[in-house]
Amino acid sequence: METKNYFLSLLSDDEPDAIAVIKGNNLYPDINGVVKFYALPESGILIAVEVSDLPDGKGEDTPTFFAFHIHENDNCSDDFANTGNHYNPDKVPHPEHAGDLPPLLSNDGYVWTVLYDSFLTLPMIINRSVVIHQNPDDFTTQPSGNAGEKIACGVITERKD
């Protein structure tokens, strides 16, 4: 796959193949955003994230990191208690779960970032959830990186043409 300008053209010209609308929990009801998933022709997915109104954990104007994961279940009810664990089809330790994604970096409560994942495919993630956690992932603690409370969630749904 020629990637030189492929990702940029995909983001600017194509509709996503799947989408998750992000909403905050009861303590952070203003969090909102969208995660868009683009299937790549050979393997992997491109993930575009835009979220606003994340809390500033330090109480000052400094960037804040938040853990970002794909969870097993497509259920964001009950303040996200029903999302299940990190998506982990290979039963490997954290941070090697398929659902372990790079952290989000918030500036003044706003995130816009694009991630490339060569392992995940669209069928693997449809009908699962995307979760933003209160703390950054420490990439060590089992089973979930000591990421803290689930503060935002969205169910990944396939876009139909």
Is 68 a member of any domain? yes
What does the pLDDT average to over 57-83? Answer: 87
Which candidate, 147, 114, 109, places its Cα nearest to that of 131?
147
What is the rounded average pLDDT for all residues in the chain?
90
Q: Supply the pLDDT for residue 58.
A: 59
CATH of residue 125: 2.60.40.200
Give backbone dihedrals phi and psi of 23, rounded to 5 degrees, phi first.
Answer: -130, 150
Of the candidates 22, 44, 18, 41, the residue with the CA atom closest to the CA atom of residue 31: 22
Does residue 2 form part of some domain? Answer: no
* 62-66: long-range pairs with CB below 8 Å, 24+: 63/105, 63/106, 63/107, 64/105, 64/106, 65/103, 65/104, 65/105, 65/106, 65/136, 66/103, 66/104, 66/106, 66/111, 66/132, 66/133, 66/134, 66/135, 66/136, 66/151
**What is the per-residue pLDDT for 142?**
87
**Mean pLDDT over residues 71-98, rounded?**
93
User: Residue 85 domain-assigned?
Assistant: yes
pLDDT at 60: 59
Q: Is residue 46 part of a domain?
A: yes
CB 101 within 8 A of CB 118: no
Within a domain: 6: no
**What is the average pLDDT across 16-24?**
97
What is the model's pLDDT at position 57?
A: 62
Q: 74: domain range? A: 16-158
Q: For residue 60, what are the contacts with CB-CB under 8 A and spacing of at least 6?
A: none
Mean pLDDT lowest for which of 51-60, 68-77, 79-88, 101-110?
A: 51-60
| Residue 90 covered by a domain | yes
| Position 9 in a domain | no
Half-sphere exposure of 97 toward its Cβ, with a 13 Å CA cutoff? Answer: 25
Domains contained in the chain, number: 1
* Euclidean distance between CA atoms 47 and 159, whole angstroms: 14
Over residues 41-65, the pLDDT tens digits come to 888 999 999 999 999 765 655 668 9
Q: How far apart are CA 125 and CA 20, in angstroms?
A: 11
Report residue 18: phi and psi, to 5°.
-150, 160
Q: Is residue 150 part of a domain?
A: yes
